[in-house]
Amino acid sequence: MCFGMTVFNTDAQVFERPDFKGDKMTWIVRAGANFNSATGDWKDKMLSDWKDSHNIDFKDGTFPSNTSFDVSIAFNKSIKQLPSLYWGMEMGVSTRGYKANAEWESGHISSTWGDYIGHRIEESQTLMAYNAYFTPVMFGYKYELLSNMTLDAHIGAFASYDFAGNSKRDTYDWQTSSGKDRVKESSSKTSLEDLKDYSRFDAGMNIGIGVWFGHFNLDFSWQRGFVNMFDSDYSIKSQSLKLRLGYAF
């Protein structure tokens, strides 16, 4: 009976509001999805290159997000004079990168057989870099919504370093000839060490808002890098949306 009451009390405590306004630090672990992309005029540059390379055959170019992961540990400490405000730090392992897709069509008459050969070509360029990041300064505000529910808004600055990753190019050539379809695939991969003029270091800001339900947290954050990913004449800077679940100790 005592064991059952102990388990019940422990379960009940995790749904109670932590002492966010106390003198002790609140430690938080978070994990979730990271939706990577890049901002800047690099998209215009790629579209221009695709159109120049394939002329009237070019059909479309898109830049979808590149989904990966984010894992971190952080602490918050209430500011004594204004207990709803807090400062803190965070460190973790995450990713950055982008994806660019292009599609074009072409066709010609075979000189050997005289039949028409059509091509619908899809190309995907993906950069995925794994990094360690550190947020040395972060400030936030926790607003009590209900007895066990708290709104959490925060802003901070970060620095990161890419320790692994690669750039990958995949091409699919959908061919039609004499009523028969086939696909020809090709793929190439380049490691970060071999990427020309690539910068592994990044620094920038992150802004987020989340909700605490007892000790559990749902956090939504936007991270924006200020360092150009490549040493080039065009701008390409990382950004990501993070959707994470957390727990406070």
* Tens digit of each residue's pLDDT (9 = 90 or more) over 51-67: 888 776 888 899 999 99
Nearest residue to 229 via CA among 102, 123, 129: 129
| Cα 187 to Cα 104, 124, 145, distances in angstroms | 18, 10, 52
Confidence tier at 27 by pLDDT (50, 70, 90): very high
pLDDT of residue 88: 97
Confidence tier at 183 by pLDDT (50, 70, 90): confident
Side-chain-facing half-sphere of 11: CA atoms under 13 Å: 6
As a whole number, the mean pLDDT across the chain is 90
Reported pTM: 0.86
Do 78 and 85 form a contact (C-beta atoms < 8 A)?
Answer: yes
- What's the topology of domain 24-248? Porin (2.40.160)
Q: What is the mean pLDDT of residues 66-85?
A: 96
Spans of all domains in the chain: 24-248
